[in-house]
Amino acid sequence: MHHFVLPILIDLLSAKGFDEAQLFEGTGFESLDAAMQLSLSPIQFDNLCGNAVKVSQDPLLGLKAGAKLDMVSLGILGYALMSCASVNDSLRLLLRYSKMLLPSVQVSLFPNEKNLAIIAKAPELPPLLERFYVDSLFSGIIHNLRILTDQQVTNIVLELPYDPPENIHLYSDVFGEQLLFNASRYALMLDKPTLKMSLSSANPSAEDVFRRECDRLMVSDVNLGIVSEHVKQILLSARLDFPNCKTVSVRLHMSESTLQRRLAKEGTRYQIILDQVRYTLAREYLQQTLLPVGEIGFLLGYSNAANFRRSFKRWSGMSPAQLRT
């Protein structure tokens, strides 16, 4: 992902008068060239994008970045998406390889009789970084589908869980007029006629070749967070009784040392993933229940409310009470 996103971010920040040094501050990289020579872990990429969001102070940065993404710049994945027969086929292929694009974002497709809803979320990330990622994903999807269908994609419904921005016309320019802000989720909906549209670049034979190459890249790239994602799902399914690292390693059919080594290759640790899961569940309990803060802390494995409050402040930059209000 970073090979085609970072140059776009630098262009957007340069237009606002910022330089590369501010984007790479505290990341261990000094320049774009240094970052492009390495395979970044999801955490490193999150840090870089988080810097861009913080430096720009532009809530529309994701929208603008997505509008500058094009399929060709995505390499093999882009060619695979372009080679699909229809919009629906391309979106389903995008779901299959979504971790190659945005390893920290969960993407799902929910079809019904009238449309297909693309749901994206990253609840363990800071809200502004989650917004940046999802805005860029949705904006990039529509920008490219319009190119590949000769501008025929029009009937779009967009749901966003934040207040309408002052310059809402920028959203209308990309998505049209069916915008729902202060929604309960991030969702992009396309109707059935749109899903059936043919892509101008469809090539079934080439699609098969590109898809196999994407599969090979998925398996070989340790930075896609495959093992860490499994650990996260185990912890989320446990909910109230989190297993320790040794127990998780048994569930994954490997030794504890092997698990720790695989997680290190993906740029993370068991404790980091556990904190991410606790943060996700803490936000869920705080926003969807009336449980006292101390009881939520107890459910998440904290011996007292003060320790939970300190951890939550470290994760989110705000207190549990501030999140609720």
Among candidate residues 58, 77, 98, the one where a domain is terminated: 58
Burial of 266 (0-12, 13-18, 19+ CB in 10 A): buried
Same domain flag for 67 and 214: yes
**Could you count the other beta carbons within 10 Å of the beta carbon of residue 242?**
17
Same domain flag for 152 and 22: no
Number of domains in the chain: 3
Total residues found in the chain within this entry: 325
Give the CA radius of gyration of the chain. Answer: 20
Task: Determine contact, residues 125/133, Cβ cutoff 8 Å.
Answer: yes
pTM for the structure as a whole:
0.69
Q: Residue 191, SS3?
A: strand
Q: What is the DSSP letter of 153?
A: -
Same domain flag for 67 and 211: yes
Same domain flag for 201 and 251: no
Same domain flag for 133 and 259: no
Same domain flag for 9 and 89: no
pLDDT per residue, tens digit, the chain (325 aa), is 556 778 888 888 888 888 777 777 777 777 777 776 666 777 778 888 888 998 898 999 999 999 998 887 777 888 889 999 999 999 999 988 888 888 889 899 998 888 999 999 998 889 999 999 999 999 999 999 999 998 778 889 999 999 998 889 999 999 999 999 999 999 999 999 999 999 989 988 888 888 887 777 665 554 555 677 778 878 877 766 889 999 988 877 778 998 898 888 777 899 998 988 888 888 888 887 888 999 999 888 888 899 999 999 888 888 998 888 7
